[in-house]
Amino acid sequence: MLGGLLHAAHIPFRGMIISSAAVIIICLIAYFSVRRGEILKATMIVLMIKAAISPHTPVAAYGAVFLQGLIGEGLFFNKRIFAFSSIMLGLIVGILTGLQKLIMLTLIFGINFWDAINQFLNYVIKEFFISSSETSVFNFSIVLMGLYVLIHLLFGFCAGLFASKMPAKINSESANNHIVPEIYSFNQKEAEAVKKKKQKHWWRKPSYLLIFILSSGLLIISYIDPNEVNLSQKSILLMLLRALLIILIWFYFLSPILMNIIQKLLHKKSNEYTNEMNNMINHFPLYKSTAVVIWRLSTKQKGFGRLNYFMVTLIINVLTLKFPD
């Protein structure tokens, strides 16, 4: 639901915002739960609903959600350190989210991929900006990886800090100012009109397109000016061929097998949580209406102020929703 709304609104950093929202939700479950195990229970229900209504969800998404729930269950062993646990969860999830992409790229393209980035960027800088040969020793890939993880880390820290302050906002007298009565008069058809994010094929994703463009550029350079790069045409072609084979094996062989195993395991557990699952699925239209109305009301805010208003108001209204009998 949140992913579709952010996609329709053309919000950047959607992946990091969604993982940050997961951190906030886990923290709130930990705060309001009266016994241990509620985070894992909620995680299992989320996974079962994903399997039921979105069977084409990638295998990695199941693993990420389960790992986040497992870490959350382990961190929130004592409510007296709720703020510390919230920030730690945000930091850990931020790091893991950032590393996940880097590890995946390394597994698919191999170590040569990072060397290829260094070669390409050093060549571009040398040709267009600096003529000195000293730039050839600069390790751009380490800098890019560090920045990528750092951005995720900052998002995670902000999410944890936000979550640590959320209970006080919910319990404050000013929380009533965030109640939006328009939710119940909102036309459900308008909520359905919000475009759902379509699953892109792997070759249409910006990250993969950028990688293949970079590799193709390096391949052309290796033909035009072979003395400027230390990678041969053969090694570049092998890197691309390796990536293509791994992607094809994963998407058309391993992923379907793993997905089948995951869905069977979740189906066995679904009988335990039938009522909870049905309630959640039946309430989805009202959740979606709530999100759409609040997002429209947040237009008066700008930048991250809008996102902050949206998250606070959405959480307060979801917690106080009155469902029809």
- Average pLDDT score over residue span 204-220: 66
List all residues 6 or more positions away from 9 whose beta carbon is below 8 Å from its beta carbon: 295
pLDDT tens digits, residue range 3-62?
555 544 445 566 788 889 999 999 999 999 988 899 999 999 999 988 888 877 888 889
> What gap in Å lies between CA 76 and CA 74, rounded to an integer?
6
Question: Residue 237 — pLDDT band, cuts 50, 70, 90?
Answer: confident
In a domain, 324, yes or no: no
Please report the pLDDT score of residue 299 as a whole number.
Answer: 87
DSSP string computed for 284-321: HHHHHHHHHHHHHHGGGS-HHHHHHHHHHHHHHHHHT-
Locate 292 and state its tokens.
């759409």
Cα within 13 Å of Cα(170), Cβ side: 17
Residue 63 pLDDT exceeds 80: yes
**C-alpha triplet 204, 207, 212: angle, nearest 5°:** 80
In a domain, 131, yes or no: no
Residue 247 pLDDT exceeds 60: yes
**C-alpha triplet 14, 16, 19: angle, nearest 5°:** 110
pLDDT tens digits, residue range 75-108?
998 888 999 999 999 999 999 998 988 998 888 8
> Looking at per-residue confidence, does 192 or 75 come out higher?
75
Please report the pLDDT score of residue 157 as a whole number.
Answer: 97
Please report the pLDDT score of residue 135 as a whole number.
Answer: 46
Please report the pLDDT score of residue 244 as a whole number.
Answer: 81
In a domain, 45, yes or no: yes
Q: Give me the number of domains the chain comprises.
A: 1
Share of the chain above pLDDT 70, in %: 77
| Residue 79: strand, helix, or coil | helix
Residue 194 pLDDT exceeds 60: no
DSSP string computed for 225-294: -GGG-SS-HHHHHHHHHHHHHHHHHIIIIIHHHHHHHHHHHHHHHHGGGHHHHHHHHHHHHHHHHHHHHH
> Looking at per-residue confidence, does 227 or 314 come out higher?
314
Question: Residue 302 — pLDDT band, cuts 50, 70, 90?
Answer: confident
pLDDT tens digits, residue range 141-155?
899 899 999 999 999
pTM for this entry: 0.80
Q: Which of 170-184, 193-207, 253-267, 308-322 has the lowest mean pLDDT?
A: 193-207
Please report the pLDDT score of residue 117 as a whole number.
Answer: 79
Average pLDDT, the chain: 80
List all residues 6 or more positions away from 281 whose beta carbon is below 8 Å from its beta carbon: 49, 52, 53
> What gap in Å lies between CA 52 and CA 48, rounded to an integer?
6
In a domain, 216, yes or no: no
In a domain, 57, yes or no: yes
In a domain, 258, yes or no: yes
What's the domain range around 35?
2-104+138-199+253-319
Please report the pLDDT score of residue 124 as a whole number.
Answer: 72
